[in-house]
Amino acid sequence: MTLSSTVLITGASSGIGATYAERFARRGHDLVLVARDKARLDALAKRLQDENGVAVAVLQADLTESAELAVVEARLRDDARIGILVNNAGMAQSGSFVQQTGDSIERLITLNTTAPARLAAAVAPRLAQSGSGAIVNIGSVVGFAPEMGMSLYGATKAFVLFLSQGLSLELSSKGVYVQAVLPAATRTEIWQRSGMDVNALPEVMEVGELVDAALAGFDRREQVTIPPLHVAARWDALEGARQGLLSDIRQAHAAERYRAPE
Ligand SMILES: NC(=O)c1ccc[n+]([C@@H]2O[C@H](COP(=O)([O-])OP(=O)(O)OC[C@H]3O[C@@H](n4cnc5c(N)ncnc54)[C@H](OP(=O)(O)O)[C@@H]3O)[C@@H](O)[C@H]2O)c1
């Protein structure tokens, strides 16, 4: 990807997405900002244009609405200036699993999994064709922590990590860089939006620190960046254990412990 690539960021009206927009604008990238709140996007676009001299376009879309998602897909497919997609828009879970409704489950899964998958699929063929570009997917450490009590949200973030790792394997040989970024608790509006008090948490990362760390990982072309993980070797150990497990999957027969006694 070239320094001049335009960056399309979903969920750019606040929090992590707005901070990515600021950082990429400072680096000289033109931007396409996507979210529902057009007034906020317009204000951010104007400020970033004035401060950095970059071009910032606004695309209002509710990514849980298939027709609006399709407009963003079309932009990613057709606008050859876009070389970087940041799949950031997301929502957390309000309440426990038994408090969910069919609608709330569908909205959460659509925003956190269907939208990033469809958007990645819209841009990937063009990036692979050009032999360059990047897809950044914002997951969460909750994606490997069912203990945290956010089963649905965590499941969507496990999807994001898996999708990122799979896409990285499929696309890196074609020159396309795929990064999964896994924050832990970060001070943004997501807490308030889902009815939680961020100030009740014992530890919270400031959003600027999170995005700067994520971009350090981006610059190193890390596949998985976990800013709050202090001992990087723990991730390597988890990956090693996963590979070990895979090496012991034998498809022809059930394991000894499941065989009926003769
Ligand atoms: N903050 C944390 O502790 C934390 C930790 C781990 C992972 N994350 C992940 O980080 C990402 C960004 O979240 P954040 O913490 O920055 O929260 P945030 O401040 O609430 O930002 C969420 C963004 O997504 C947009 N959005 C929400 N619903 C949307 C919809 N239906 N269609 C289009 N855009 C929508 C929001 O804009 P509009 O309301 O204008 O649409 C907003 O720009 C999420 O994927 C989240 O899961 C956050």
31-35 and 134-138 as β-strands: parallel, antiparallel, unpaired?
A: unpaired
Q: Using one digit for the tens of pLDDT, what is the confidence trace for 44-82?
A: 999 999 999 999 999 999 999 999 999 999 999 999 999
- Residue 261: the pLDDT is 86
Pair 96, 149: CB distance under 8 Å: yes
- Residue 160: the pLDDT is 99
The alpha carbon of 90 and the centre of ligand 1 are apart by a number of angstroms equal to 4
Ligand 1 atom nearest to CA at 183: 6
In a domain, 27, yes or no: yes
Q: Which residues, including other chains, have CB under 8 Å from residue 93's CB and lie 6 or more apart?
A: 100, 108, 150, 151, 152, 153, 194
- Distances from the Cα of 257 to the Cα of 55, 241, 254, 260, angstroms: 62, 21, 8, 8
Q: Could you tell me if residue 62 is left (phi over 0), alpha (psi between -120 and 50 degrees) or otherwise beta?
A: beta
In a domain, 21, yes or no: yes
Task: Please state, in angstroms and rounded to a whole number, the distance separating the CA atoms of residues 117 and 130.
Answer: 20
CATH label of the domain that carries residue 34: 3.40.50.720
- Residue 16: the pLDDT is 98
The alpha carbon of 259 and the centre of ligand 1 are apart by a number of angstroms equal to 48
Q: Which residues, including other chains, have CB under 8 Å from residue 59's CB and lie 6 or more apart?
A: 8, 32, 33, 34, 71, 72, 75
In a domain, 103, yes or no: yes
Task: Please state, in angstroms and rounded to a whole number, the distance separating the CA atoms of residues 201 and 49.
Answer: 35
Ligand 1 atom nearest to CA at 64: 31
- Residue 4: the pLDDT is 65
Residues of the chain with pLDDT under 70: 1-4
The alpha carbon of 151 and the centre of ligand 1 are apart by a number of angstroms equal to 18
Give pTM, 2 decimals: 0.98
| 177: annotated active-site residue | no
Catalytic one among 20, 153, 177, 258?
153
Number of domains in the chain: 1
- Residue 2: the pLDDT is 56
Range of the domain at 196: 6-258
22, 34, 36, 156: which to mutate for ligand 1, most atoms within 8 A of CB? 36
In a domain, 130, yes or no: yes
In a domain, 13, yes or no: yes
DSSP state of 14: S
Mean model confidence pLDDT for the chain: 97
Rg (CA), the chain: 19
Q: Which residues line ligand 1 (CB under 6 A)?
A: 11-17, 35-37, 40, 61-64, 88-91, 111, 138, 140, 183, 185-186, 188-190, 193
DSSP state of 260: P
Q: Is 32 helix (H, G, I), strand (E, B) or coil?
A: strand
Nearest alpha carbon to residue 213 among 237, 234, 230 = 230
In a domain, 1, yes or no: no
The alpha carbon of 115 and the centre of ligand 1 are apart by a number of angstroms equal to 13
